[in-house]
Structure 1
Amino acid sequence: MSFLLRVILNAFAIWLVSLIPVLQVYLIPFAPGDWFQVALTALLVGLIFAIVNAIIGTVLKVLAIPLYILTLGLISLVINGFLLWLTAWITTLWSFGLRVESFWWGVLAALLITIINGILGLIFRPSRRD
């Protein structure tokens, strides 16, 4: 999957998860907050999440191989939650972006984002030529 498509799918998944008020994950758009600013904010957060996942996520997943074996892969939920929390922390440097109120709600939100990305990845996967 191309990087641009991954950013767009991340942005859509983060936007969908931010619509669920129970998760306490909020997408704070640029001012004045019209639909265009929400879309730009979601794309920017999706880009930051994709970069964090590509760089830091890869290093963490390689270092956590023994924990993957020990926990039968359940550590990936915590790692993905940490990466989402880190993305939210990076975006706190500005007055817009992603806010995650609690680490464990972030873990649940990251699980939902992973499921949404998986489904959308199956739908938008480029077809292979034989």
Structure 2
Amino acid sequence: MPVIARWLLNAVGLMVLPYILNGIRVDSFVAALIAALILGLANALIRPVILFFTLPLNVVTLGLFTFVVNGFMLWLVGLVVKGFHVDSFLSAVFGSILLSILSAVLTRLIR
């Protein structure tokens, strides 16, 4: 799937999140587009480094610590992007799980 299509699908997923989870707010679709772009860049550049350094903890938790790292990425984007708000770290963890599910469902629907 082209990069722009995945970016738009993630932005749509970010727009749907507030309807499912109370701890996340998105003010506009433009904010969702920017948040999706920053989240993609953070996942490409920062996430691998964090996963490398937390590898022992990830092995001990049988990979479940990856949910915490994904939540941290979403929480970090909420701090950086104006118009995209994440109330708590727990909301970020649940939001990242829901965003993964939404992204997978939307990708299936598009194909």
Scaled by the length of structure 2, what TM-score is found? 0.88
Distance 1:124 1:66, change over 3 A: farther
Q: Greater helix share, 1 or 2?
A: 2
Q: Which runs of 5+ in 2 are unaligned?
A: none
Cα distance in structure 2, aligned partners of 1:117 and 1:124: 11
Cα distance in structure 1, aligned partners of 2:99 and 2:23: 14
Scaled by the length of structure 1, what TM-score is found? 0.76
| Mapped contact 1:7–1:43 kept (Cα < 8 A) | yes
Query: Which residue in the other structure is 1:82 paired with?
Result: 72
Query: Which residue in the other structure is 2:23 paired with?
Result: 24
The residue type equivalent to 1:23 in the other structure is N
Aligned residues: 111
* Residue 97 (structure 1) aligned with residue 83 (structure 2): yes
Identity %: 32
Q: RMSD across aligned C-alpha pairs, in angstroms?
A: 1.6
| Mapped contact 1:10–1:49 kept (Cα < 8 A) | no
SS of 1:72's equivalent in the other structure is: coil
Alignment counterpart, residue 98 of structure 2, candidates 106, 112, 116: 112
Distance 1:54 1:13, change over 3 A: same
- Residues 74-93 of structure 1, C-alpha deviations (whole Å, 9 max, x = no match): 101100100000001111xx
Q: CA deviation at 1:64?
A: 2.3
**1:14-93 mapped onto 2 (5 Å cutoff):** 14-20=14-20, 22-28=21-27, 38-91=28-81
Cα distance in structure 2, aligned partners of 1:109 and 1:98: 12
Cα distance in structure 2, aligned partners of 1:98 and 1:70: 33
Bigger Cα Rg: 1
Moved over 6 A (4+): none
